[in-house]
Chains A and B, each alone.
Chain A
């Protein structure tokens, strides 16, 4: 297991197009998180899954955003009708939470540029 994988690494899209990102977490991790990082800011929480259940969504996640984690394995984050303000680094992270919390492992991120 090589850690958390995200695909693609970079995406340039025209405003109004739909985009989908994929995240493959560490296989034994039961929690998966999506964060967004814009220039000069720290990562901001978007949503998280416990196995296949999406348990919380941030108010940052407008109705143009949808995330899934079928069968509790990989996850996808889709943005519909992209806007220039969606340009950011989208980070996926996973963790194993049972008896305690020891932080996340982040992927390398998907850099989205909306032109």
Chain B
């Protein structure tokens, strides 16, 4: 049972435009959400996170939005840059889980110059 779902395997955008990556979850015990970015042959790199007590967190070009009622979060990247091309993983941690992360399958973002 996939508790964290990233339904778009890939996304292609033009440089300078907005990239929106989506993530849905089913476990209502999740209370902390993270986005990781991964280049080939490297480990995931932390990008941005959000606690369930918030609905938005912003860090430079990256903003994460959380809609708890819909069990949905999204990552907005604006403006998108070619260096943002990577696989993006959504991850979640549940209360009492000892901070284990449950990951989605990832979305491959390609930013075209």
Contact = CB atoms under 8 A, between A and B. Distances in A.
- Which has the most chain B C-beta neighbours within 10 Å: A42, A93, A101? A42
- Which has the most chain B C-beta neighbours within 10 Å: A41, A101, A109? A101
If over half of B's interface residues share one DSSP class (helix, strand or loop), that class is named, otherwise mixed; here it is strand
- Which has the most chain A C-beta neighbours within 10 Å: B4, B49, B93, B103? B103
Interface in A57-115: 91, 93, 95, 97, 101-109, 111
A108 B32 CA distance: 24
Q: How large is the interface on B (under 10, 10 to 19, 20 to 34, 35 or more residues)?
A: 20 to 34
Given A42-B106, A45-B102, 6 more contacts: A41-B105, A42-B4, A42-B91, A42-B104, A48-B100, A103-B46
Contacts of A48: 98, 100
Interface of A: 4, 6, 31, 33, 35, 40-45, 48, 55-56, 91, 93, 95, 97, 101-109, 111
